[in-house]
């Protein structure tokens, strides 16, 4: 079943995070991920507000987790560490 990768992010170092974004996109695409929302308009109804929200659709939970653990994504993530505060969850879509 398909899955959503949902990230809520506060960027604290725009230059370093920009390098993350440059590398993360191709890593996500290589695992079948496609962005369906990225830094778009949002309304925070509950919880901690994060000004950058990203949703990517993957073929499965496993594909999303494989992407996260891949060397290419981990290389990208090295640039996000210390440059952002983030939460990331993968949720299976029940269709």
Residue-range domain boundaries for the chain: 3-92
Mean pLDDT of 7-33: 96
Res 94: pLDDT: 92
Q: Which residues pair with 20 in a beta bridge?
A: none
The string of pLDDT tens digits covering residues 40-58 is 899 999 999 999 999 999 9
Res 88: pLDDT: 96
pLDDT over 80 (residue 95):
no
Label residues 22-47 b or e (16+ Cβ within 10 Å = b): ebbeebbeebbbeeeeeeeeeeeeee
| Fold category of 3-92 in CATH | Alpha-Beta Plaits (3.30.70)
pLDDT over 90 (residue 39):
no
Res 67: pLDDT: 98
Res 40: pLDDT: 85
Is the entire prediction scored with pTM above 0.75?
yes
């Amino acid at each position: 079943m398909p899955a959503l990768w949902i990230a809520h992010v506060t960027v604290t170092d725009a230059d370093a995070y920009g390098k993350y974004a440059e590398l993360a996109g191709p890593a996500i695409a290589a695992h079948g991920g496609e962005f369906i929302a990225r830094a778009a308009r949002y309304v925070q109804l509950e919880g901690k507000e994060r000004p950058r929200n990203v949703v990517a659709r993957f073929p499965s939970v496993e594909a999303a987790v494989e992407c996260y653990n891949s060397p290419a994504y981990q290389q990208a993530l090295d640039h996000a560490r210390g440059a952002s505060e983030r939460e990331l969850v993968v949720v299976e879509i029940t269709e």
